[in-house]
Structure 1
C-alpha cells in the first residue's frame, strides 16, 4: 500500500469459520469506523469483500479483520489483491454468491449469550420468555444448516418468514441481529407445545407445564438443539430410577444440568480448567469429582465418584432451570444404544414408553448432535465425546490432504472424517454401529458432510477389522481408492494430529480391542510410529479371550484367562472363582485349549480381569464398565505399585500384575488398594518399556492414545512417570483418545502415505 492520504482499493478473501458468527456485520461496522467504501458478502468459500479508502486506514482495516474478529469467528487466512479505485461511496452487505463449490466453514451451535438471556428475562421485552431467542453471537448453527453459504434459505429457519420487527433488526447495521440468520420472535418464529404420554396436546404454558410435570416426579422428553433429551429432577429418587428402568440403561451415569455455575459447584469440585469448560460457548458436559453430600438421587451415577454436569445452553433450558432452581437429569432421548431422536413424530412414537410428557417445537433439526463430554487434565480439555458445540469446527492440519478423503472410523463410539486441503472435519458422535438406525444415521451424516463441505472423496480409509460395519461400508463404495489403516496406528496418528506433529514417536496405544496385523486382537501396544507408518515394538503379553465377545460382557472370563495363564490348573480359591464356580471350569478349559478364545493383548481386558479379581465387577452392562469402576474404586493416596516384568523384546507381563493382585486379595486387602497398586504398576511397566525403546531408537517423545487413557488416574501416573524419565509426552486435547478420534487418525495416515509416495516418485 502507498503513502498516507492516497486512495486505494483492495479485494479481500477471508477464510475460516466466518459464516453464522456475525462476521459480515462486523466488517460493515469496521469499514464505517475507518471511513471506507465497498461491500462484503458470503460465498461458498467464506467471506469476500472489496474496500476502498485512505491507504493507512485500509491497512488497519485489513489487519483488524483477523485481530478484532467476533468471538465466535476463527479467521485462518486473509488474502488481499490490489484493484484500481472506483470512487464509490458507502459500504454495504451484498447478496451471497453460491455459485462456487462449497468450501466455507460452518460454525458449531453456541450457548445463549448474555444479551439474549437478558431479553428473555425482561418482562417488558418482546422476546420475554421466548425459547428461540438468538443473535449473531449465539444460537443454532450446525444443527439447522442444510447447505452453504450460511443464509436463512439454507437452514431449517427458511420455514419461518421474518415479521416486520425482526426484519428491521436483521437490516439494521447497528443491531446485534444484523444479518443473524435464525432471527425470530414469538410473532414469526418457532413455537413450543406440550403433549401428554399419549401424544395429545396438553393445555397451558409449555414451560410451566413441563416444570409442573418434573416437580410431580414425571419424566419429560424435551426437544433440544441436536435432538431430544429425557429429563427428570436429579434429586427425585423414584423419577430417576424409573427413567433408568424405562430407558434400559442399567448402569451408565446420567448427566445433570445445574441451573447456574453455583449450582454446579454444589454438585462437583471444579478446577479452573473445568470451570472454564463448563461456561464456554460450547457448554459441554464436564466430568468432575462429586462433592460430598451432593443432592442427587443414587440412581444418577451409581458406583461413580464423578458426575457429568452441564449448564443451560438454550433459552428453553434457561427457562426450565429458572422455574425449577434444582438440578435436572438431562440424558439423550433414545432407547439403549439407538441414535438420539430428532423428529416430533419419531419422538412421540419411540419415546412413548419412557416419557410421561413431551415438550415439542416446530423448528426441524437438520443434523442430530449429542451433547459433548469433556474433562480437564493438567489445565487442558480432555475430550471424551466431541459433538454439539464443537462440531463441525475443523481441525486445521500443518499437512495438506493431496486428495479429498473420507475416513470411516471404527465400530464403537463412531465418528467419521472428511478432509480436504488443510482441513479435517471430524463428525459429531454417531455411536456404536450395532443397529440399523445408527448405521442409517452414519450414512446420512457422511452424505451431509460431503455436501456441506464440498468433499467428493477420492480416497476412502477404513479399519482393518473385516466385520466392522464401517469397514463394510467402505468396501461397498465404488470409484475410490481404498486404504486400510491398523487401529492402533490410527490412534497414535490421531494424537499426533491433535498436537500438530508428524513424529516419529514412541506410541503407547491402550484400549479395548483392535484388529492386529497378525490376526490377533491387539489393545496394549507400543509402537514406533510416524504418520505414514509404524512397527509394533512391544505390547502387553497376549492371553486367550474365552468366548470372544462374551468376555467383553463378562469380565470374570478374563479373570479366568489371566488366572489360568498365571497359575495353570492351581488357581487360588478367590471370590471371583466362587462367584462363577458353575461355569469356571469350562471357561478355564476354553482358555487353556484356545477354543473359541482368540488371543488378545488388550489393556482393557487386563483391567477387566483385575476388576473381577478385586471383587469390583464380574459382568458389564456397557463396554468398559469394569475398568471404569476399577478406577473409581482406587485409593488415590496409595503409592505402592505392583511390579511387572518387561522382557527383552518389550513384552509387559500382565500375569505379574495379576499375581500381585491375587496376593493382596488373599491377604484381605480391599479393592481400593488393589485397584490403586494395579494402576501404579501398569504405569510403571509402561514407563519401563518406553525407556527400553528410547535406548534402542533414540526417540524421546511419547504419544498416548486409546480409550484406556480416558482413565485420568492411569494417565496422570503415566505422564508423571514419563516426564520424570525425561520424555516429552503428547496427549489429546481436541479430539477424544477413544475410538471417537480414530477417523482423524485414519485420514492423516492416508494423506501422509500419499505424500510420501509422491515425494518418493519425485526423487
Structure 2
C-alpha cells in the first residue's frame, strides 16, 4: 500500500526554453511526487519518487501531453533507490559535458502577455519586452547550453524583487522563464538619430509619428534590424527603395491583425493559421484591388508579403500607427541583416532617419521566414525565424556526423547526427563578404550548441561556390561532392521520409552538371544515394554566362537563335538593337562565352523578356516571378510542345518560344501568353514524366528546385500528374530553392557513404 519507487527520467528533444521544468514541477505536484528536475547538456533530467502509479502517470503525461512548444524525441527510464525525499524542486543545471540538447526557435508573443501589454493596470503595460515561459526570444539570445538566464543575452539584466518572485513561484506562468523582465529590471527602448543622439519624447510614440510623416525608421526586432516605412505612403516607400538600393524586389508589410490583413489581401484558412501561429512568417497572399498599400511596395506582382506582429514592440507600433507599415530586412541589397547596434548604425545610417532600438543584445541574426500556400499546406520560400534551428527528424540514421555546406545563393548549412538534421536559418548570398562571415560564424555557433563535430562534409560540385571552397578548406574530415539537382530531389525525399527511387523533376536557375553544361531543367531517376539523368529541357546557349542571369533579354536572344526564329517584329529586339547584335555574334560563334544550359529558370527569363515583362533583373528570379504574376488565371489552354522519347527524354522548349513569338506578333494579351506558356510547359513535363515512368515502372514523382516556388507551374504539373495516377511529393517543410539544398546534400552524402 505504501510502496515508493524512484525513477530517473531523461527527456530529449526540444525541451529547454519551452517551459518544460515548470511543467514537470506542476505535474509532480499534481501526482504528489517528490524529486527534482533540471537541464543538462542533452535535455531534461528528472528524478520522480512516490507511488508507482503516480510515477507511471507522470511519465505518460511527459510523452502524451508535453508543453505546446516542446518536441519529445525520447524518454529514458532508469530505476534508482528511493531517498525518502518529500519535496519536488528545480535543480541547478548540470554543465561540463558537450552539449547536444536541441535549441528552440523564437516564439511570437502569447495572448496572455498581450493582455498584460495593453492593460493600463498591469505593471508591464506598454512594456516592449514582455514574455513568459510560452513566448518570446529563444534562439536569438542563447549563448550556450544548458538553457538558463546566465547563458543568454539576458544575463546582464539582474531580476528585480517582483520578477524574482514570479520566477520562483510554481503557480506563476513566468516560473523559470529565463528572459523574464519588466520596466524596472529589463531592457529599455530608445529612439536615436543616425549619429546616435537620443531623440526627445517617448521612443515608441515618436517613432510612430516619424513613420506617419514619411520617415524611414530602423527597428530592432528579435533577430536583427528592420527598416520600416508607412506602407500607404508612395513617397516614403520609393525613398526607402532608393536608399536601400532595392529597385524592384517586393517589400513585406506588417498588419495589426487578421481583420487588417483581410483589408489588404484574400485570406484562406491555411494562410490565416500560418499568419497567426507561434512562428509568424511572412505569407505571400493575393492582393485586393482596393488595398490601401502603395503599388510601389510590391511592383510587378499581384501579391503582398504580409506578417502579423510577433514581438510586443511590433504590436505597439501597429497600435500607435493604425495603418500597415513596410517592415523589410535591415540591410542594403545583397548584405546580411544587421543585428549588432554599432554595425547597424554604420550600415543603416544612410538609409534610416531614426533608430528605434534597445539594449538587449542579439546573439544570432535571424531574418523573417517567408511562406506561400500550396495544396492547403505551407510552401516554404525562406526558412528562418520561428522555424530554425528546429531539427527535422528522419526515419533513417546518419552513419556518422555530417556537415553539408549548401549553395552559393539562399545559403544555409545543415548539421546532421543520429536521426536529426538541423538546418540553419537563411543566411543569404555568399558572394557578399559580410554574408560569408555570418555563415562561418553561425556554423561555428551551431556546432558548439549542438555538439555535432562532423566527420563527413558534403558540398556542391560547383568549384567556384564559396560554400564548396569552404568545405574543401576544412582539415581532418572526409569531403564528398553532391550534384546540385540530385541534392534538390533528395531534400524533397528527406522531408517526406522517403528513400526512393522516384522520378525527380528538378527545375531551377543553374546548377553544375555532370557533362560540362549548365543544368536546371532535369528529370532524374533518383534515390538517396544515386541518380540517372533520364531527361531534360532542350539545351540552348547562355550568352555571357552569369551575365545572362541579370539580363534576361540575352536568353530571349538565345532561345530565338536556337529556334531559328527571327527577332523582327518583336519589341525585345527593338529595345536595344546594338546590344542584340553583339549577343547574336556571340551566339553565332558559340564556345565558352555561350555555355549550353537546360535551365528552366533561363527559359522563364526568355519568355518574360520576349513578352516585355522584364528585360533586366534587379533581384534573383525577378523575370520568372513577374511572368507568373502576369499569367491570366482564366486561361486554360497551353502551347503545344514536342517531347522526344529518348533516352534521354527531351522537352523541346524552343516550341514554346515559337508559340510565344507568334502570339506576340498577333497582338495576343501578355496575360494570355504567360498563362499559355505555363500550361504548355506543365503539359510537356507531364508527358516527359509519363515516358520515364513507362521505362522505369516508377509511380512517385518529387518536384524540387527554385522554379517550383511558382504555384501556377507547380499546381499545373501536380494536377496533371495526379490525374494520371502519380503520387506527387512537394515541399512543405524546407524550401524548394537552394535554401533547402543543404538538407539534400547531407542525406545524399550519408547515403553514398553507407553504400560505399
Residue by residue over 1:591-627, the C-alpha shift from the partner in whole angstroms, topping out at 9 and shown as x without a partner, is 2321400110000000011111111111111111000
Could you say which residue in structure 1 is the equivalent of 2:134?
Answer: 137
**SS in structure 2 of the partner of residue 263 of structure 1:** helix
TM-score, normalised to structure 1, is 0.98
Alignment of 1:3-402 (within 5 A): 6-402=3-399
Worse-superposed segment, 644-653 or 132-141 = 644-653
Paired with 1:115 and 1:623, the residues of 2 have a C-alpha distance of 41
- Structure 2 counterpart of 1:547, from 530, 544, 549: 544
Deviation digits for residues 550-589 of structure 1, max 9, x if unmatched?
A: 1111111101000011116x44431111112112122122
Instruction: Identify which range, 713-722 or 96-105, moves more after superposition.
Output: 96-105
CA contact (8 A) 1:614 1:671 kept: yes
Q: Name the SS of the counterpart of 1:156 in structure 2.
A: coil
The alignment partner of 1:143 has SS state of helix
Map 1:356-755 onto structure 2 (within 5 A). Answer: 356-567=353-564, 570-595=566-591, 596-649=593-646, 650-755=649-754
How far the C-alpha of 1:644 sits from its partner, in A, is: 1.1
* Whole-angstrom CA distance in 1 between matches of 2:742 and 2:721: 27
Secondary structure of residue in 2 paired with 1:639: coil
Q: Distance in 1 between the 2:63 and 2:670 partners? A: 54
1:748 and 1:98 map into 2 onto residues whose CA distance is 31
Q: Is the 8 A contact 1:400 1:751 kept in 2?
A: no
Q: Deviations over 1:118-150 (max 9, x none)?
A: 111111211111111110000000000011111
Q: What is the rounded CA distance, in whole Å, between the counterparts of 1:38 and 1:320 in structure 2? A: 45
State the distance in 1 between where 2:695 and 2:341 align: 60
User: Deviation per CA, 1:506-533, whole angstroms, max 9, x where unpaired?
Assistant: 0000000000011211000000000111
The farther-off stretch of 99-108 and 80-89 is: 80-89
Q: Give the SS at the match of 1:157.
A: coil
Asked if 2 retains the 8 angstrom alpha-carbon contact of 1:42 and 1:95, the reply is yes
Alignment partners' CA distance in 1, 2:95 and 2:418: 20
Q: Quick one: distance in 1 between partners of 2:452 and 2:56?
A: 35
Q: Distance in 1 between matches of 2:60 and 2:260?
A: 42
Q: CA deviation at 1:5?
A: 6.1
1:86, CA displacement in angstroms?
2.5
Q: Work out the CA distance in 1 between the residues paired with 2:507 and 2:652.
A: 15
Bigger mean CA offset, 522-531 vs 666-675: 666-675
Distance in 1 (CA, whole Å) between partners of 2:530 and 2:98 is 33
- Return 5+ residue gaps in structure 2 as ranges: none
**Superposed CA RMSD:** 1.0
For structure 1, list consecutive stretches of 5 or more residues without a partner in the other structure: 758-763
Cα distance in 2, alignment partners of residues 438 and 519 from structure 1 = 29
Give the number of aligned pairs: 753
In structure 2, how many angstroms separate the alpha carbons of the residues matched to 1:494 and 1:69? Answer: 29
Q: Under a length normalisation based on structure 2, what TM-score does the superposition of the two structures give? A: 0.99
| Maintained 8 Å contact 1:464/1:484 | yes
- CA drift of 1:58 comes to 1.6
Cα deviation, residue 83, structure 1:
2.3
Q: Structure 1: how far apart are the matches of 2:454 and 2:182?
A: 41
Equivalent in the alignment of 1:760: none
| Regions of 4+ moved over 6 Å | none
CA deviation digits over 1:349-408, x for unaligned, max 9? 111111011111111100100000001111111000000010110011111111111110
